[in-house]
Amino acid sequence: MTTAHRAFLGAIVGAIVALFLHPLSRPWLQYSFWQFSPSPVVTSSPHLAKTLPSLPSPEADEDISLYVQLAAEKLSNGQQLDAKDALLLAELCRNAAEKDPQNAYWRQSEAVFQFALGNKAAAETAWRRACKRPNWDDSQSQQIRTFLIDMKRESGADMSWHAATASYLRSTAAPKVIHSLGVQILNQNPTLACRSETFLNAILLRDQSRAEASSYYGYLLAETAATGPFLTPGSKREKSYIRAEFPTELNKSNQSAIADEVDRGLRENEAFQALVYTAGSQTNLRKLTGQSILLGSLPGALLFAAATSGLLLLLSYLVPLHRLGDPVSPAVPTIIALVVAVTVYIITKQVPISLWILMVIALFAIHPSISLISPTLKIPRLSLFIGSFFSIFLCAFIAAGAIIASTPFQSLAAFLPTGWWNNPTKFFGEGFLIVIGTFILANQITAFKLRRPAGRYCITIARHGLTQACLACLFCSIIVTPAAIYWDSKINQDLHKIALNETAYYLNR
């Protein structure tokens, strides 16, 4: 090793140590390097309904909101509430409404539970009171803020995947059951007064709920109230006419103030559909989520790949290289090839992969008549390049596997679309076999041409390639870490806005 090589290696090691010691960069190296389990905060946060380990005492509004969200999740899944639970929830919502009289959320929720109890008159009364309130707040934004604080404390930094997780953990079950209740009330009482009350409740839900799906339930309910609860589908022209005449009917019944609100709400509904509920919104969130996972886990994954390749390099030096030049019986590699191929087939059930492994290992049975005299003989540059290429490719597989097993990915895995990452064992297992098999085959061919022992030649090339791959991963980790921190802070701003108020984010883009 030359002086320049020693200086380069020392600089890399020093930079890695500095990144580990610095509190700003250390959090970006922990994931995919030594933390490979879902976040404890994500799996058992006491602040969100979808992660709640146990019910808190229903004292604060945020705690009561958790009760409502859990009950709404149950109703939205088609389950029924026990009468005692529904009665308790209705009472809790009524008490919360007295403490927070401007919040329509409590009255709407009370109406849901009164209706579940069969108290239709009480449900309609609570529904009527809700439409006269100016605000709608289910306390989830405050719950998410607390959740993000816990995530930051756990990770040691404010990372964008925290907000991405919070976006998916926001419950939309309460708006869903409120929409369902509004439709049922309209079907039972399709009067002009009930339609206007339902429309005003829907507008509150549409404008002040902070999730796109929740706002869309308000949008749908407003359209249903405007066009009437059709038991059978009406024509598009008929519905459009009834919708346009809704404010006129209210004016005719001397409700001009409500008519103005309805007219404005109908126009805003059209803008809402155009600006918020678009096909690209979910795609945008998935894209940002993917970026947040990659930025939060890539620096550590590269370091993990460097450590793994370094370990493989050390193991390669334990192989007695001088013994690999001795001829062996062709039966030995043939038997080993059969055993390995059958084992791979039993595990993977893949005939092509098994035959591939059988061929690659069985070729070691062919031994050149002239053995390598010295391992220091010059090796073709092409072979060195092939060794480095396949070693780096192998490190890329290792880094990808580390990302899949990392805490950010595992915490968000349930919300990601289906892909190869749903069966990583099969993907990476077959990938490793193909990469290693191709590496061995390429070096076998070269070794046979040079009349050198294939085993010794493969190990020699592997040592060179793993050395280059280890240094490359270390160098890339040093370069990627500050870049990941910078870009993570950029997308973190968007993901925080989506987590805290998704509807406003898409309206103000």
Q: Residue 502 is encoded by which pair of tokens?
A: 């998704």
Query: Within 13 A of 279's CA, how many CA atoms are on the CB side?
Result: 0
pLDDT exceeds cutoff 90 at 34: no
C-alpha dist (Å) from residue 274 to 201, 212, 219: 21, 13, 12
Mean pLDDT of 89-102: 94
DSSP string computed for 97-116? HHHSTTBHHHHHHHHHHHHH
Q: Residue 38 is encoded by which pair of tokens?
A: 């879902």
Residue 368: strand, helix, or coil:
coil
Q: CA torsion sign, 30 to 32 to 37 to 41?
A: positive
Report which secondary-structure segment, H or E, holds 42: helix 40-44
- Of 38, 282, 283, the closest CA to residue 172 belongs to 282
CB 300 within 8 A of CB 33: yes
Tens digit of each residue's pLDDT (9 = 90 or more) over 326-353: 555 667 777 777 887 788 777 777 777 7
Tens digit of each residue's pLDDT (9 = 90 or more) over 159-201: 999 999 999 999 999 999 999 999 999 999 888 999 999 999 9
Query: What is the model's pTM?
Result: 0.86
CB 340 within 8 A of CB 355: no
pLDDT exceeds cutoff 50 at 380: yes
Residue type at position 248: T
The span from the CA of 36 to the CA of 459, in Å, is: 31
pLDDT exceeds cutoff 60 at 48: yes
Greater confidence (353 vs 295) lies with: 295
DSSP string computed for 437-498? HHHHHHHHHHHHHTT--HHHHHHHHHHHHHHHHHHHHHHHHHHHHHHHHHHHHHHHHHHHHH
Beta partners for residue 177, in sequence order: none
Share the mean pLDDT of the chain.
87
pLDDT at 310: 93
Report which secondary-structure segment, H or E, holds 226: helix 212-227
